[in-house]
């Protein structure tokens, strides 16, 4: 079934590839529909996979091996943790495609193909059971997203943003490659299951850990490697932002769990004060710089940094509520952050042509339905109860409290600061007198409405019934705990 998931987007892009991109609306619609259908088929298959998933075992499931390819150990499998990242990917891709459904006119074919290929690559990264393959797929997302930002981005600054994004992530992951090579030379294999059986000495674990950590810290992003994210977000097209916030940042979250905690547990334990400190710095710094941002997309990008810092805190809390809370918050962030990007970068930007907060005021007068949805997502972003974000945040901090109460107290400042910047953004855009300099605005159309509502429903449903997710997480996450 995993093979299907990986191949279907490729098949979709192969179908689109020979189609001639003419000016006619019909051919464009056809291409879009093919891409969308492909990604939706993938989503339903992944739902079926979720249904078939056996939550009582820690083993990898749906394993498919390709031993015919002998340059590396190409095998795929899913456990409780990667399942949700996989689902998030298949869920976010159709949303990303739909979000730029109407406003991409040139190079449409390339746009659709690149997003379908991105889906395949991300799924591969989440399900590959080989460290080297994980690295390859982790990196392979870069060039495509780089070109997407270059081709479809906004503004003249996009060249620099794309370059920053590319170079930061590439440079960050070089130490990871070195670490992988070292592991390979130690153990003679890069298979996850095999490596996790080996006992690597603490001294070498420390070095390896740092190598991996830099790669993931750049991708998360943690201070001081954050500046590529706001730039990439503000200059990339909406679909790129959605994908970046929804899933590509989660590659790092997944990497922390799969590599750092799972393979290098002693070093993780040794370095956990360090990473907690960095996460707290990221959280507080990013929250404070979020408050004064003037660009709506930058603001949400910075708030992503703050939320991902809480995820990192939870992951390195070394207890079950913390780790599961971090995964929940990761998933929740994958719903809410894209939704906010659709709100400010899609709905508002399409209508007003600006992302500067000061130019927009009083949207509620013309766009009441949009404002309701925007408000709900803003609340979710602040971590209001009944949303998945609340559970994720609270559980992560409950977890980290058991490890270090002071860190947890500092982490809880995010509760105030997230309310400050989110509500400021919402209040500034939606309320007040309607700005006379705005063009006449239409309320959201059917496409945008369904986009937002389809992100809102899982956030609230999982916020009320998180056990649906947690039941499948328990066995896999229990294996991550470190007993010293």
What's phi and psi for 20, nearest 5 deg?
Answer: -75, 130
Residue among 411, 392, 400, 273 at smallest CA distance from 330 = 392
Under the criterion CB under 8 A, does residue 379 sit at the interface with other proteins? yes
- Examine residue 216 and say whether the peptide bond preceding it is cis (omega within 30 degrees of 0): no
Could you count the other beta carbons within 10 Å of the beta carbon of residue 337? 28
Query: Is residue 78 classed as helix, strand or coil in its secondary structure?
Result: strand
Calculate the dihedral angle through the C-alpha atoms of 125, 2, 88, 79, rounding to the nearest 10 degrees: -80
CB of 158 to other proteins, least distance (A): 15
Residue among 305, 367, 348, 343 at smallest CA distance from 456 = 343
Residue from 55, 140, 196, 289 in contact with other proteins (CB under 8 A): 289
CB of 237 to other proteins, least distance (A): 22
Stretch that binds other proteins, among 200-208, 258-266, 271-279, 388-396 (CB under 8 A): 388-396
Under the criterion CB under 8 A, does residue 221 sit at the interface with other proteins? no
Calculate the dihedral angle through the C-alpha atoms of 382, 384, 387, 392, rounding to the nearest 10 degrees: 70
Under the criterion CB under 8 A, does residue 150 sit at the interface with other proteins? no
Stretch that binds other proteins, among 2-10, 190-198, 270-278, 400-408 (CB under 8 A): 400-408
Which residue has tokens 């500034």? 428
Residue from 10, 63, 291, 475 in contact with other proteins (CB under 8 A): 291
CB of 408 to other proteins, least distance (A): 6
C-beta separation of 371 from 430 below 8 A: yes
Which residue, 15 or 398, has its beta carbon nearer to other proteins? Answer: 398
Residue from 98, 215, 320, 360 in contact with other proteins (CB under 8 A): 320
How far, in whole angstroms, is CA 188 from its chain's centroid? 32
Report the alpha-carbon distance of residue 444 to residue 100 in Å, rounded.
Answer: 14
Which residue, 407 or 455, has its beta carbon nearer to other proteins? Answer: 407
Stretch that binds other proteins, among 71-79, 111-119, 192-200, 220-228 (CB under 8 A): 220-228
Which residue, 45 or 419, has its beta carbon nearer to other proteins? Answer: 419
- Examine residue 224 and say whether the peptide bond preceding it is cis (omega within 30 degrees of 0): yes
Interacting residues with other proteins between 348 and 367 (CB under 8 A): 362, 364-365
Query: Is residue 448 classed as helix, strand or coil in its secondary structure?
Result: helix
Interacting residues with other proteins between 407 and 436 (CB under 8 A): 408-409, 412-413, 415-416, 419-420, 423-424, 427, 430-433
DSSP 53: -
Residue among 358, 348, 306 at smallest CA distance from 448 = 348
Number of residues that bind other proteins (CB under 8 A): 56
Stretch that binds other proteins, among 38-46, 65-73, 192-200, 384-392 (CB under 8 A): 384-392
Please spell the DSSP secondary structure of 273-309, one letter per residue.
Answer: HHHHHHHHHHHHHHHHHHHT--BHHHHHHHHHHHHHH
CB of 114 to other proteins, least distance (A): 25
Report the alpha-carbon distance of residue 246 to residue 91 in Å, rounded.
Answer: 10
Under the criterion CB under 8 A, does residue 394 sit at the interface with other proteins? yes
Residue among 195, 12, 191, 5 at smallest CA distance from 83 = 5
Interacting residues with other proteins between 152 and 211 (CB under 8 A): 164, 167-168
Helix (H) or strand (E) holding 7: helix 2-16
CB of 53 to other proteins, least distance (A): 18
Interacting residues with other proteins between 441 and 470 (CB under 8 A): 464-467, 470
CB of 202 to other proteins, least distance (A): 28
Residue from 39, 99, 128, 319 in contact with other proteins (CB under 8 A): 319
Residues forming a β-bridge with 76: 64, 128
C-beta separation of 354 from 360 below 8 A: yes
Per-residue x/- track, 46-85, other proteins (CB under 8 A):
----------------------------------------
Q: Where are the alpha helices (DSSP H) in 153-222?
A: 158-187, 192-197, 202-219
Residue from 402, 435, 454, 460 in contact with other proteins (CB under 8 A): 402
Paired tokens of 337 = 């952050």
Under the criterion CB under 8 A, does residue 102 sit at the interface with other proteins? no
Q: Where are the alpha helices (DSSP H) in 363-445?
A: 368-382, 388-403, 405-430
CB of 197 to other proteins, least distance (A): 26
Which residue, 24 or 409, has its beta carbon nearer to other proteins? Answer: 409
Which residue, 4 or 281, has its beta carbon nearer to other proteins? Answer: 281
| Chain positions contacting other proteins, by CB under 8 A | 164, 167-168, 224, 226-228, 285, 288-293, 319-321, 324, 362, 364-365, 379, 382, 384-386, 391, 394-395, 397-398, 401-402, 405, 408-409, 412-413, 415-416, 419-420, 423-424, 427, 430-433, 464-467, 470-471, 474
């Amino acid at each position: 079934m995993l093979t299907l998931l990986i191949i279907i987007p490729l098949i979709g892009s192969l179908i689109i590839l020979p189609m001639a991109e003419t000016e006619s609306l019909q051919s464009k619609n056809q291409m879009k529909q093919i891409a969308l259908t492909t990604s939706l088929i993938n989503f339903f298959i992944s739902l079926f996979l979720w249904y078939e998933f056996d939550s009582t075992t820690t083993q990898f499931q749906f394993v498919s091996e390709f031993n015919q390819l002998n340059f590396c150990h190409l095998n795929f499998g899913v456990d409780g943790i990667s399942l949700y990242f996989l689902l998030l990917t298949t869920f976010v891709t159709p949303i990303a495609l739909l979000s730029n459904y109407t406003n991409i006119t040139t190079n449409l074919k390339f746009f659709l193909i690149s997003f379908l290929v991105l889906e395949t690559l991300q799924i591969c990264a989440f399900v590959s059971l080989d460290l080297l393959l994980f690295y390859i797929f982790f990196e392979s997302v870069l060039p495509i997203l780089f070109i997407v930002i270059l081709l479809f981005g906004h503004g003249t600054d996009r060249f620099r943003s794309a370059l920053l994004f590319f170079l930061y992530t590439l440079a960050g992951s070089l130490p990871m490659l070195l670490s992988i090579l070292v592991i390979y030379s130690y153990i003679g294999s890069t298979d996850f299951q095999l490596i996790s059986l080996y006992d690597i000495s603490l001294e070498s674990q420390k070095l390896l850990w740092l190598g991996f950590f830099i790669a993931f810290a750049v991708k998360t992003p943690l201070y001081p490697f954050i500046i590529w994210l706001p730039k990439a977000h503000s200059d990339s097209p909406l679909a790129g932002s959605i994908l970046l916030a929804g899933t590509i940042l989660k590659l790092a979250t997944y990497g922390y769990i799969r590599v750092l905690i799972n393979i290098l547990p002693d070093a993780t334990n040794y370095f956990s004060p360090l990473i907690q400190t960095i996460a707290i710095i990221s959280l507080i710094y990013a929250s404070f710089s979020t408050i004064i941002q003037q660009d709506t997309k930058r603001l949400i990008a910075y708030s992503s940094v703050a939320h991902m810092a809480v995820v990192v805190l939870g992951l390195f809390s070394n207890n079950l509520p913390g780790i599961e809370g971090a995964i929940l918050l990761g998933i929740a962030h994958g719903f809410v952050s894209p939704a906010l990007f659709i709100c400010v970068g899609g709905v508002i930007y399409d209508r007003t042509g600006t992302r500067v907060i000061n130019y927009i005021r009083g949207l509620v007068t013309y766009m009441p339905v949009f404002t309701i949805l925007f408000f709900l997502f803003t609340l979710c972003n602040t971590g209001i109860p009944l949303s998945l974000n609340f559970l994720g945040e609270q559980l992560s901090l409950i977890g980290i409290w058991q490890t270090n109460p002071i860190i947890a107290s500092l982490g809880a400042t995010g509760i105030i600061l997230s309310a400050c910047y989110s509500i400021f953004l919402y209040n500034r855009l939606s309320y007040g007198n309607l700005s006379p300099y705005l063009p006449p605005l239409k309320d959201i159309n059917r496409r945008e409405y369904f986009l937002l509502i389809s992100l809102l429903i899982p956030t609230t449903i999982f916020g009320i019934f998180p056990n649906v997710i947690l039941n499948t997480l328990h066995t896999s996450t229990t294996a991550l705990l470190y007993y010293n």
